[in-house]
Amino acid sequence: MRFEKAEDLLNLAFAMQSSADGVSLADIEQMFEVSRRTAMRMRDAVLRVYPQTEEKTDACRIKRWRIPSATNGRHLALTPDELATLDMAAKAFNGRGLRLQAKALRSLCGKIKSFQKCEASRRIEPDLEALIEAEGLAARPGPRPKIKVEHLHALREAIKACQIVEILYRGKGKKEAEVKRVAPYGFLYGHRHYLVGGGTEKGREAARYHFILSQIEDVMVTKQGFRRDPSFDIQSYAEESFGIWKEKPLEVVWKFTPRAAEAARDFVFHPSQKITDGKDGSMTVHFKAGGMLEMAWHLYMWGDQVEVVKPAALRKMANGHARKWDGLP
């Protein structure tokens, strides 16, 4: 049985209570992407359950409906997914240097959780902890891959429950999709989004594999569980690379010219980076990571204003494409 319609009615009821001005039919159409006739049926369904709903006409002669405060309060419950999403958003702000916004969002999350009853908090804490550990954030602006929401939801549920999944996966260069059995560990978000999965075959449980989320054509959560490796941490795993691609971490040293140094100081190139300043005004950044191709992509925007000191393979890869650059990032 599908419960999407019931969920929509509950969300509409919460919207009618949380809005100071009330909700109009046009608002319902926009919120749920439905026709005017469906919006009227949804409104009527809520009015039958909440006869105390107030109806008023605004200054533009548009009818609006509002449920009095506290009517829904006893039914309101937070989910681990909602709280984990708030935590992810705070991490995204912090990763972009917006620490004030990150602090405000974490404060909001704390205030919201304070309204939960103790027993409700105890029920959601294990799932919340699992989701927060699973979401490896490496978000970037720009084009985004298409991912089916139901696939992401199923994978998140499997991560929380430590259940093996069977995914129908179309690998790179493959014309047909293949079934893969995976122990889901978490996600890495970047120019492409990946599922990080562990092996399920005996002797290969510790292996880690990446699956592009947009190339997963179907997900089935099995009834078979798996024991999560307690030593695995998605954040530490993500920090081994400059981007998403996994390579053996190498010592990386980039030297920025005095002209570029001021702009370079505004960047965090890697969580483990160390900065040294030259007497001539130059700046050198040191860190350890893999992912040379993604490093080369980033270095391109600095042109001839950066010298790759280490590793030699990256220097050969990047210097051949360096160009005289008038504008800095």
The 10s digit of each residue's pLDDT in 218-249 is 999 999 998 888 888 777 776 666 555 566 78
Topology given in CATH for the domain delimited by 250-319: Alpha-Beta Plaits (3.30.70)
Give start-end residues of each CATH 1.10.10.10 domain in the chain: 4-75
Q: Where in the chain is the domain with CATH 3.30.70?
A: 250-319
Strand, coil or helix: 322: coil
Per-residue pLDDT, 176: 86
**Cα 144 from chain centroid (whole Å):** 12
> With pLDDT > 90 as the criterion, what percentage of the chain qualifies?
11
Q: Which amino acid is at 247?
A: E
| Per-residue pLDDT at 75 exceeds 60 | no
CATH value of 149-238 in 2.30.30, 2.70.70, 3.40.50, 3.40.5: 2.30.30
User: Distances from the Cα of 36 to the Cαs of 1, 13, 43, 52, 60, in angstroms?
Assistant: 26, 17, 10, 23, 19
List the single range of 11-25, 171-185, 280-294, 309-323 with lowest mean pLDDT. Answer: 309-323
Q: Mean pLDDT over all residues of the chain?
A: 77
Q: Is 288 in contact with 252 (CB distance < 8 Å)?
A: yes
Structure token digits, residue 49: 């359950």
What is the predicted pLDDT for the residue at 321? 64
Determine the 3-state secondary structure of 51 from DSSP.
coil
- Mean pLDDT for the stretch of residues 63-89: 71
- CATH architecture for the domain at 4-75: Orthogonal Bundle (1.10)
Q: Is it the case that residue 113 has pLDDT exceeding 90?
A: no
Look at the block and give the residue holding tokens 């927060």.
132
Provide the pLDDT for residue 1: 35
Indicate the pTM of the whole model.
Answer: 0.45
